[in-house]
Amino acid sequence: MSCNSSVTRLHVSSVDQAPRAPVHLMPCEIEYNGPAQVSQYLTATIKDRKHEKTVSFRGRGLKGQELSCPQGYTGLVLKEINKTGSDQEDRTVRVSSVFDKMTYWNLETAPNSDDTVVMAMDWPELAEAIHGPVEE
């Protein structure tokens, strides 16, 4: 069994300088890693229905929901400063933007409490209950 002993360093000073930005978690993988003029080529017309949002992306229907970060947490969008050639090398990242809520999207299925991102947002509260002090 191999052990990955690489380290990721965060430039902490970049947190205070980072702008707030809307974040969308898409149900796809885009095999491109580089700059893109997203605002020029991608505009979304989001329809709000009760607790669900709908949009079309490349002809496919997406259904989404806005999620807030757990209380006391702030989401970070990280950008690697010097890209390394392998997963075994140390990395340095900076914060390119911050968020306190995000919209996650499912491909044609309605968002629900069993979605992994929803369960992940519940983890800090669950972890505190499990690992916090026991009151008698």
pLDDT in tens, 101-136: 999 999 988 899 999 999 999 988 888 889 988 887
Q: How many Cβ atoms are within 10 Å of 64's Cβ, its own excluded?
A: 23
Bridge-based pairing of strands 91-99 and 8-11 is parallel
Sheet containing 101-107: which strands, arranged edge to edge?
A: 24-25, 101-107, 60-68, 52-57, 47-49
**What tokens were used for 42?**
């991608």
Using DSSP's 3-state secondary structure scheme, residue 50 falls into coil
Distance from C-alpha of 78 to C-alpha of 32, rounded to nearest angstrom: 16
Q: 19 exposed, middle or buried (CB, 10 Å; 0-12, 13-18, 19+)?
A: exposed
pLDDT digits 0-9 by tens, 43-56: 567 777 777 788 88
**Rounded to two decimals, what is the model's pTM?**
0.76
pLDDT, tens digit, 9 for 90 and up, residues 52-99: 788 888 788 889 999 999 999 999 999 888 777 777 888 889 999 999
**Rounded distance between C-alpha atoms, residue 31 and residue 47, angstroms:** 28
Q: Where are the beta strands (DSSP E) in the chain?
A: 8-11, 24-25, 47-49, 52-57, 60-68, 75-80, 91-99, 101-107
Q: Write out the two tokens for 48.
A: 């709000």
